[in-house]
């Protein structure tokens, strides 16, 4: 400190601190030449601040917001240490620390690595969590003794790592003891936050800090587990094949209405989809009925699908399964008037008279009358 600062210290008797907005400073040591403070100097402590006096390494006094005259009347503890009771009028040496007691908001916390927890439904799973919190210094003297010590400018980053580690540790304890299934955590974030605050508070109080707000924004599973859950949800949607077939049919009808030029081809595809989907539904229904009758055990063999002999280009061909017949109808090899035959029928008949094949022709119009 130069000569100018020394002279300024001799004449200026106002001790105050205006916090710079760009820095997150929690504690600031007021600079004076040789730490000399005049007896009778004015101390200004603004709202959101506290002033702590340290003499010979000992916390002497703490002042809350207000204006003070530094004399024996309003600083009895410091007066006792300095011997003011004997009428000392000369400047005294003492360190003054301003402590920020305002609320520090939008502080982030999160798990740096996945945490292993035991879920009652999925078993052992890895999870991540993050959110934000707010804190404030409620006991300036404790904060000064436990964290600041002799640091002339104590900034927030010097303590936020410790706060984050404490928060994560206690939150994981909370999740483990709550035994809430992972799928139900999203509806219990507020409850988890309140319980976590209760567990975190005693740890922070030892440092003179209080947690004023705590929020859990998200608890997530690894991507591969989330993908498996998506597949499980998809299987749940497709569990009712009959409803799924109806849904697909409605979608195809909508597409056909929006594409009049391709209506014929879409009609054939729609018919094939309906017929094949209905066969799958019938097969599943029959299998479930057989299982119910036999009381479980090995499932019976899948029922055989109908096989058709076709007249193609004037010659008999086949037998073909339903999927092959649908393809030949779609390509035009088999028409409504084409003759077909399957086991159990006495004669060859036109394709559009067979119920199983009629749906494959869709809504194609009949030939124009001559």
Radius of gyration of the chain (CA): 41
Spatial contact of 94 and 23, defined as CB atoms under 8 Å apart: no
Residue 71: strand, helix, or coil: coil
Edge-first strand listing for the sheet containing 49-55: 58-63, 49-55, 95-100, 25-29, 153-155
Spatial contact of 125 and 117, defined as CB atoms under 8 Å apart: yes
Distance between CA atoms of 326 and 323, rounded to whole angstroms? 5
| pLDDT score at 4 | 47
Tens-binned pLDDT, residue by residue, of the chain (370 aa): 454 454 444 444 789 998 776 678 999 999 876 667 777 889 999 999 999 999 888 898 999 999 998 876 666 666 666 665 545 455 677 889 999 999 999 999 998 888 888 887 778 888 889 999 999 999 999 999 999 988 999 999 899 988 999 988 888 888 877 778 887 887 888 888 888 888 999 999 999 999 999 999 988 887 887 787 777 776 666 565 566 666 667 777 777 667 655 544 445 454 555 555 565 556 556 656 665 555 555 555 555 567 788 788 778 887 888 888 888 888 888 888 788 888 778 888 887 787 777 777 765 555 566 6
Bridge partner list, 350:
339
| pLDDT score at 9 | 47
Distance between CA atoms of 206 and 138, rounded to whole angstroms? 11
| pLDDT score at 50 | 96
Please, which contacts does 180-185 make with residues 24 or more away whose CB atoms are closer than 8 Å?
Answer: 181/119, 181/120, 181/121, 182/119, 182/121, 182/122, 182/125, 182/127, 182/219, 182/221, 183/121, 185/219
| pLDDT score at 65 | 95
Residue spans per domain, the chain:
3-100, 104-224, 236-289+305-361
Task: Find out if CATH 3.30.479.30 is the number for domain 104-224.
Answer: yes
Distance between CA atoms of 113 and 127, rounded to whole angstroms? 9
| pLDDT score at 291 | 55
Distance between CA atoms of 352 and 188, rounded to whole angstroms? 60
How many residues are there in the chain?
Answer: 370
Closest CA to 337 of 329, 326, 347: 329
Distance between CA atoms of 355 and 345, rounded to whole angstroms? 13
């Amino acid at each position: 400190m130069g000569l100018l600062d020394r002279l300024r210290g001799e004449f200026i008797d106002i001790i105050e601190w205006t916090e710079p907005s760009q820095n997150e400073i929690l504690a600031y040591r007021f600079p004076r030449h040789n730490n000399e403070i005049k007896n009778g100097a004015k101390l200004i402590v603004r709202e959101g601040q506290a002033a702590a006096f340290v003499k010979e390494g000992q916390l002497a006094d703490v002042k809350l917001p207000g204006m003070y005259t530094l004399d024996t009347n309003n600083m009895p503890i410091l007066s006792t240490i300095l011997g003011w009771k004997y009428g000392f009028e000369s400047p005294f040496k003492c360190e003054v620390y301003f402590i920020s007691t305002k609320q520090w908001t939008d502080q982030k916390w999160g798990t740096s690595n996945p945490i292993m927890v035991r879920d009652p439904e999925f078993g052992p799973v890895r999870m991540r969590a993050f959110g934000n919190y707010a804190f404030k210094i409620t006991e300036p003297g404790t904060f000064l003794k436990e964290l600041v010590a002799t640091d002339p400018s104590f900034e927030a980053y010097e303590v936020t790592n410790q706060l984050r580690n404490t928060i994560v540790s206690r939150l994981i304890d909370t999740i483990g003891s709550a035994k809430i299934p992972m799928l139900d955590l999203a509806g219990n974030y507020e409850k988890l936050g309140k319980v976590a605050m209760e567990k975190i508070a005693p740890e922070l109080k030892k440092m003179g800090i209080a947690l004023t707000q705590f929020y859990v924004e998200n608890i997530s599973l690894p991507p591969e587990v989330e993908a498996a859950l998506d597949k499980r949800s998809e299987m749940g949607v497709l569990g009712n094949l009959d409803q799924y077939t109806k849904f697909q049919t409605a979608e195809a009808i909508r597409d056909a209405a929006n594409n009049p030029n391709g209506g014929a081809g879409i009609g054939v595809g729609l018919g094939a989809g309906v017929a094949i989907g209905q066969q799958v539904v019938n097969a599943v229904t029959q299998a479930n009925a057989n299982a119910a009758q036999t009381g479980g055990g090995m499932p019976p063999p899948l029922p055989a699908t109908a096989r058709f002999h076709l007249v193609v280009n004037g010659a008999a061909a086949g037998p073909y399964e339903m999927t092959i017949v649908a393809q030949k109808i779609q390509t035009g090899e088999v028409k409504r008037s084409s003759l077909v035959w399957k086991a159990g029928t006495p004669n060859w008949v036109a394709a559009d008279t067979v119920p199983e094949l009629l749906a494959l022709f869709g809504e194609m119009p009949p030939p124009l009358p001559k």
